[in-house]
Amino acid sequence: MNIYFIIIILILLFEYFLSNIVRKLNLNALDSKLPEEFSDVFDEEEYKKSQLYTKAKEHFAYLSSTLMIILSLSIILFGAYNIIDQYVREFQYGAIITGLLFYGILIILSDIISTPFNLYDTFVIEEKFGFNKMTIKTFFSDKIKSYALFIIIGAPIISLILFFFESFNQYAWVYAWILIVSFSLIMQPIFILFIAPLFNKFSPLKDQSLLKKIESYLKNVDFPITKIEVMDGSKRSSHSNAYFSGIGKNKRIALFDTLIDSMDEDEIVSILAHEVGHYKLKHIQTGIILSSIQSGVMLFILSLFINNRDLFDVFKMEELSIYASLLFFSILYTPISMIINFVFNYISRKNEFAADQYSLETTGKPENLISALKKLTIENLSNLTPHWLNVSLNYSHPPVVDRIHALKSSK
């Protein structure tokens, strides 16, 4: 028996059963009693609605994951990857073009399979709970734009990675690592200038009173911003958010229009203060360094499995190739990826507490961030009582009740 076959099947089954055990625990952790911290803003009916939303999302995730594990196992057992590989080889292009065709077909097939699930999630579940604002036209236009971005940006990057591994043998992972790290850095300005405007409209913040408060705060903490803009998030969803983008002196703030509509000025400033805290406390820079180290480790391990015949036999592949090696290794790498994500989520949750503390210290008004967190929780129908294992594995932010406790104790 091929040892890689056993490992990969066990990996897929372990990931499936673990995720569903966590979902079950998360549902069991739902408490009908409203947490005391939200008794002043959450009525019983709204709280019940948030739990129904959690149940709907978890049940749908269970169904979709079950169908996907059946499909994944079927693909392996029936040699579907080999069928696609033999098809693209018939065109008799070079290794890089053949690899792009191989990935392209897989992406299209994956999208065809996932689209019904995405449609149901968006136009049934999100619609039922009042979040969806997207039209069918917008849904499919986003898909077309995503395909275009893959062709324009993704394909050249993949081509270079394939070229490195085809040409430089044991040092290929180093060149690929330099490429990925460099790309992650230049993607920030590319995202700001070209990608984000493809999907959303950005306009200058017109509320002068809010603008002055934001500018006054940013000046006090010596945090230069190039632009403060409003994004039409309501075009797709009623969920609220805000984010910073850019590095160095070219940082920008994007406020969702839904956030401006639901928060008062002091609450918005407290949220922005939290985001500033991530920059001031070097969380962004640390994240970039850790991600770079992670990608380097992954690429080095990948280099050890290039064109591994036993690994290819698992997927019933007739011929070896660099492009298929990358794909098959990504499945084999899953356990390591899960461990790394566990650690990264832990660090991220600690950073969120620290950014909350920064907001408290620089605004001097913890009650504003507390009320903002409560409003975001209500508007997003967030789960107030997630199971600790779900938090450990999947949460990059601490549960909102824990954040409120921390802010009140600091106060």
Reply yes or no on whether the pLDDT at 248 is more than 70. no
Q: Which residue, chain included where needed, has tokens 């802010």?
A: 407
pLDDT beyond 90 at 234: no
pLDDT-wise least confident of 236-240, 303-307, 326-330: 236-240
Residue 250, pLDDT above cutoff 80: no
Could you tell me the pLDDT band of residue 320, with boundaries at 50, 70 and 90?
Answer: very high
Q: What is the mean pLDDT of residues 243-253?
A: 74
Give the whole-angstrom CA distance, residue 318 versus residue 167. Answer: 22
Asked whether residue 302 carries a pLDDT value surpassing 70, the answer given is yes
> For residues 89 and 256, which has the higher predicted lDDT (pLDDT)?
89
Q: How far apart are CA 183 and CA 190, in angstroms?
A: 10
Return the pLDDT at 158. Answer: 96
Which residues lie closer than 8 Å to 159 by C-beta, 6 or more apart? 96, 99, 100
Specify the pLDDT at position 24. Answer: 96
- What is the four-CA torsion angle of 75, 78, 83, 85, rounded to 10 degrees? 60
Domain locations along the chain? 3-199+280-410, 202-278
Model confidence at 167: pLDDT above 80 = yes
- Whole-angstrom Cα distance, residue 158 to residue 347? 30
Condensed to tens digits (0 to 9), the pLDDT of residues 119-154 reads: 999 999 999 998 888 899 999 999 999 999 999 999
Give the count of beta carbons closer than 10 Å to the beta carbon of residue 186: 9
pLDDT (0 to 100) of residue 411 = 59
pLDDT by residue (tens digit) across 20-70? 999 999 999 998 888 888 888 878 888 899 999 999 999 999 999 999 999
Active site positions, annotated: 275, 356
Is pTM, for the whole model, over 0.75? yes
* pLDDT (tens digit per residue) in 66-108: 999 999 999 999 999 999 999 999 999 999 999 999 999 999 9
Distance CA 175, CA 178 (A): 5
Neighbours of 147 (CB within 10 A): 15
User: What is the C-alpha end-to-end distance of the chain, expressed in Å?
Assistant: 61
188-207 as b/e, with b when 16 or more CB fall inside 10 Å?
beeebeeebeebbeeeebee
Look at residue 239 and tell me whether its pLDDT is greater than 80: no
Task: Quote the pLDDT of residue 197.
Answer: 85
Query: Was domain 202-278 assigned CATH 3.30.2010.10?
Result: yes
Does the pLDDT at position 1 exceed 80?
A: no
Query: Given this model, what pLDDT does residue 198 score?
Result: 87
> What's the token pair of residue 169?
């043998």
Q: Which of 205, 221, 197 is nearest to 255 (CA)?
A: 205
Distance CA 207, CA 228 (A): 11
Q: Which residue has 């057992």 as its token pair?
A: 77
Which of 74-88, 180-194, 270-284 is the least confident region?
180-194
Query: E strands along 208-256, which residues?
Result: 227-231, 242-245, 252-256
